[in-house]
Amino acid sequence: MASTGGSAAEAFEVYVKTLTEVIGHADRSEPLRDYCTGLMMPVARKSVEPLAAVTAPARVSAKHQSLLHFVGQAPWSDEALMGQVRDWTLPRMIDRGGAITAWIIDDTGFPKKGKHSVGVARQYCGQLGKQDNCQVAVSLSVANEGASLPIAWRLYVPETWLEDRERRQKAKIPDEIVFQTKPQIAIDQVRAALAAQTPTGVVLADAGYGADGEFRRELSDLGLVYSVGVQPTVSVWRPGEGPLPPKAWTGKGRPPKLVQRSKDHKPLSAKALAESLPAKAWKTVTWREGTNTELASRFAAVRLRVASRDYNLPQPRAEEWFIVEWPEGDKEPLKYWLSTLPGTMTLSELITVTKMRWRIERDYRELKQELGLGHYEGRGWRGFHHHASLCIAAYGFLVSERETIPPSGFAIIESREKPPIPRGSRSGKSTDTTRAAHLELDRHAA
């Protein structure tokens, strides 16, 4: 079912009713509705108090207490809410933009001062582009030609936090939460998405995930195809080569079973291989239109076997794509990927799929700039995740209604306060596989 019919305001009411079914109590419907409404309104700061002021200006104090309890303390399930958002939004995404083509794994940081907000630590923050005090959350998004949607979200908690009982208790981190690396969190999210029978796509991730060999192996074991970033130091065999077979059995002891290397037959780094490729291997590929111009760069792709720790294996790894981006004029390659996409794909097709990872950057930008994803001011585990789930719920509604919300805007609710609502953009389905639609939200709408 692509549409409920009627106005976008009516669709929002149906949407809220659908979400209310999984949050436990009917009396949570009003705070759910108000919180999501406030997130979509042109408010500079989308923490609880401003949301209360803009959704109920005549009774700010009571509304503030209601929303504060709903987001910070009420024991509803984030997974259930996001599952309902997924089930509502994906059919509409697919009707308008075609089949799901990618699952995108990434993480995003939230700069923080102090040390009491759950999971905050000095770590790499993508928003700042450097190491700093921040929180980091891992997400899984699904994408097609027309849109993308986060369907899983979880805070990464450093091991030092989980070992500190006092900090754990103050932040109310659940007992079942144990330390996991970001790739391990992502694999759990992937497993949950598969269990929910989410339409699958090619798994895309940057080198923070793809460099983890166990992460790649688990994706393959789950039957998923991937195209993920790797570091220039990853060990690979030259195209057409692989490890030597196990040593011949001498007749004594157990027969050798592990593949081997020799001084004259050994792998090399991804960077060294890229630098050894002939000039004819490199081609300029345009993968999509940017804001002002087409996005293009120089790429090469060859089939090879990954060599990392294969001396512990009884047989060589399967061949996969090794993709390199080396912009014209740069002194060295810029990015590297490994991909299990079919060997019959052209270079242009490989790049178009692999570069779809940019969609997650758009998700994060819209969620942060327009829907206040980073504005939650509480310190606890539950509030952090509840606020994010509600931001994603609001985003899911806008994604699902993007072709029905008129550019002139609409009023989602007609309460006695009649708060203003921002307008969304109209975006048609694209048939050009290198062109991606952009979701535009106007925070300055009247």
| CA neighbor of 190 nearest in space, from 220, 230, 158, 211 | 220
And the tokens for 217?
């192996």
CA separation for the pair 51, 67 (Å, rounded) = 8
CA separation for the pair 399, 243 (Å, rounded) = 48
Domain shared by 345 and 404, yes or no: no
Give residue 354's Cα distance to chain centre.
14
Domain shared by 385 and 342, yes or no: no
Q: Is residue 282 part of a domain?
A: yes
Q: What's the pLDDT at 219?
A: 98
Domain shared by 338 and 386, yes or no: no
Domain shared by 385 and 418, yes or no: yes
Of the residues 326, 359, 392, the one at which a domain ends: 359
Q: Is residue 250 part of a domain?
A: no
Burial readout 344-360 (b: 16 or more C-beta within 10 A, e: otherwise): eeebeebbbbbbbbbbb
Q: What's the pLDDT at 33?
A: 95
Question: Are 256 and 249 within 8 A, CB to CB?
Answer: yes
Q: What's the pLDDT at 229?
A: 98
Domain shared by 323 and 405, yes or no: no
Question: Are 189 and 140 within 8 A, CB to CB?
Answer: yes
Q: What's the pLDDT at 7?
A: 80
Domain shared by 435 and 396, yes or no: yes
Of the residues 303, 334, 359, the one at which a domain ends: 359
Range of the domain at 301: 210-241+267-359
Q: Is residue 129 part of a domain?
A: no
Helix (H) or strand (E) holding 160: helix 159-163
Domain shared by 337 and 383, yes or no: no
Question: Are 357 and 335 within 8 A, CB to CB?
Answer: no
Domain shared by 329 and 221, yes or no: yes
CA separation for the pair 189, 151 (Å, rounded) = 9
Residue spans of the chain under pLDDT 70: 1-6, 289-292, 403-446
Question: Are 438 and 428 within 8 A, CB to CB?
Answer: no
Enumerate long-range contacts of 121-130, CB under 8 Å, 24 or more apart.
121/158, 121/160, 121/161, 123/158, 127/368
Q: Is residue 146 part of a domain?
A: no
Q: What is the DSSP-derived secondary structure letter of residue 319?
A: P
Of the residues 331, 359, 387, the one at which a domain ends: 359
What is the model's pTM? 0.86
Q: Is residue 12 part of a domain?
A: yes
Domain tally, the chain: 2
| CA neighbor of 352 nearest in space, from 296, 397, 311 | 296
Q: Is residue 299 part of a domain?
A: yes
Q: Is residue 2 part of a domain?
A: yes
CA separation for the pair 188, 194 (Å, rounded) = 10
Residues 6+ apart with CB under 8 A from 253: none
Beta bridge partners of 153: 139
Helix (H) or strand (E) holding 104: strand 102-111
Output the CA torsion sign for 42, 44, 47, 50.
negative
Domain shared by 414 and 389, yes or no: yes
CA separation for the pair 424, 412 (Å, rounded) = 12
pLDDT tens digits for 194-231? 999 999 999 999 999 999 999 999 999 999 999 999 99
Domain shared by 59 and 27, yes or no: yes
Residues 6+ apart with CB under 8 A from 116: 167, 170, 171, 379
Domain shared by 434 and 406, yes or no: yes
- In this structure, what CATH number is given to the domain that contains residue 220? 3.90.350.10
And the tokens for 110?
């939230």
Question: Are 190 and 102 within 8 A, CB to CB?
Answer: no
Q: What's the pLDDT at 25?
A: 83
Residues 6+ apart with CB under 8 A from 160: 121
Question: Are 128 and 134 within 8 A, CB to CB?
Answer: yes
Q: How far apart are the first and last CA of the chain?
A: 32
Q: What's the pLDDT at 290?
A: 65
At position 225, the amino acid (one-letter code) is V
Burial readout 409-424 (b: 16 or more C-beta within 10 A, e: otherwise): bbebbeeeeebebbbb
Domain shared by 338 and 272, yes or no: yes
CA separation for the pair 99, 354 (Å, rounded) = 17
